[in-house]
Every structure is written in C-alpha cells, then in structure tokens.
Amino acid sequence: MNQQKTFLVFGASGQTGQHFVSLALREGHTVRALVRNLAKLATRHPNLDVRQGDVTDIPDLDELLQDVDFVICMLGNAEVQKTTKMNTAFVKQLIPAMRRKGVKRFLYQAGGLSKPPHRRLAPLFWLIRNTVARSYLGQHQDNDAVMEYLAETASDIEWMVHRAGIGSNGPSRGVLKRSDRAFSIATFKDCATYNYRILMDPSAVHTYDQSCYQKS
C-alpha cells in the first residue's frame, strides 16, 4: 500500500466515481465524498466520510478541503450542461479554495471529445463530437472551459485532466496508460483505476491526456 492519503471526491455516486471510491478505500486511504443523494453511494466503510451537498451550492468548501491530499472531480450532468457550464462554475470556486487550504493536486475527468486549449481535435473526433455525440455538446464545451480555466489561471496547482473514453460498465479490460494520441473505449472501472494511478504520478501534472489500453 502507498502511504495513507485523504481523497476528496466529487461525483462519487457516479459511474466512474463509485469505482474510484471503492478502489481508494481498498488501498487503505481515507475518502471524503460530497454527494447529493446519500442512498446513491452504496459503499459503507469506516474510512469513508460522506457529506451531503450539491456542487452548485457548497456552504463551506474550505471545511471540505481540510486535511485533504488529493481532489478528484468525476462530475457531470449532461442535461444541465446543455445550458449551464456547471463544472466550470464549480472548478472556479474549487481552485481558489484549494489555494486557501494549501491543497495542491487535482484530477479532473473530462471526455475524449473535449478539446484542450490551443489544440485542435483530430478531424474524426471533431466530426463525432458534432454529429453522433452532439447531444453531449454542452458537456464537451463545459469540459473545454474547465481546461481553459486551469491552463490560464492555475499553473500553481498540480492539476491534471483525464480525457476519458468510456464505453461500458463491464469488468476490467486491461491497464490504461496515458497517451496524447491514442485513445481506447474503456470501462468505468479501468478509468477509475487509471485516475487513481495518475493522481499520484507527478509526470501527469499539467497534462490533458487521453487513456489507451497498454498492449500486452
């Protein structure tokens, strides 16, 4: 086991988040999770501190960040994000609070069809984003805006973005590696495991990589 750390998790009741919480607890860490609906997070564990709340209205973000080593955000609501950059608004509150509390490391899970600042998406991805994945356009644009905010205003924070490609909730299909080109359609479980690994990898700081299954 690595040294015991405290993770603050947003989106813990989601499809990636639930796997992430279970893994971090299994690895012997402490997890603090903010969830809207306590019943949606099935896991119960002595090292799991669940708080009820909504990221659009957190009364005391500083208190949530107390004694935290790593912050991870696997948040989303495609319907709300059609009209509101909910995640960007939240990250704009979170980063200053992290500064106030001296918390450095932050992982944000975006999607493979989101666009890092000053880069072009590959033409095929651009086409998919604007056609078959068009109903998620608001979510992609929100993720784009989060990356832009981090790149432009948060170089003092050890942020990293995982541009995940998720296809199913099946069992593990292998080990995902960081890649700035290759992209795999992975399982939620594998994406959560990847998030856990790269959060502790200093070489992932200030990257917006995609993830790709390692060839055996």
Ligand X SMILES: NC(=O)c1ccc[n+]([C@@H]2O[C@H](COP(=O)([O-])OP(=O)(O)OC[C@H]3O[C@@H](n4cnc5c(N)ncnc54)[C@H](OP(=O)(O)O)[C@@H]3O)[C@@H](O)[C@H]2O)c1
* Residues near ligand X, by CB under 6 A: 11-17, 36-37, 40, 54-56, 74-77, 109-111, 139, 143, 164-166
Q: Which is nearer to ligand X, 1 or 133 (CB)?
A: 133
Q: Which is nearer to ligand X, 111 or 116 (CB)?
A: 111
Least distance (Å) from ligand X to the CB of residue 110? 5
Query: What's the burial of 189, exposed, middle or buried (CB within 10 Å: 0-12/13-18/19+)?
Result: buried
Residue 118 CB contacts under 8 Å (≥ 6 apart), including other chains = 151
Write out the two tokens for 89. Answer: 């608004």
Least distance (Å) from ligand X to the CB of residue 167? 7
Neighbours of 152 (CB within 10 A): 9
Bridge partners of 73, per DSSP, are: 10, 108
CB 28 within 8 A of CB 1: yes
Q: Which is nearer to ligand X, 4 or 169 (CB)?
A: 169
Least distance (Å) from ligand X to the CB of residue 115? 13
CB 190 within 8 A of CB 177: no
Cα(139)–Cα(129) distance, rounded to whole angstroms? 11
Least distance (Å) from ligand X to the CB of residue 12? 6
Q: Which is nearer to ligand X, 98 or 111 (CB)?
A: 111
Q: Which is nearer to ligand X, 1 or 181 (CB)?
A: 181
Least distance (Å) from ligand X to the CB of residue 67? 21
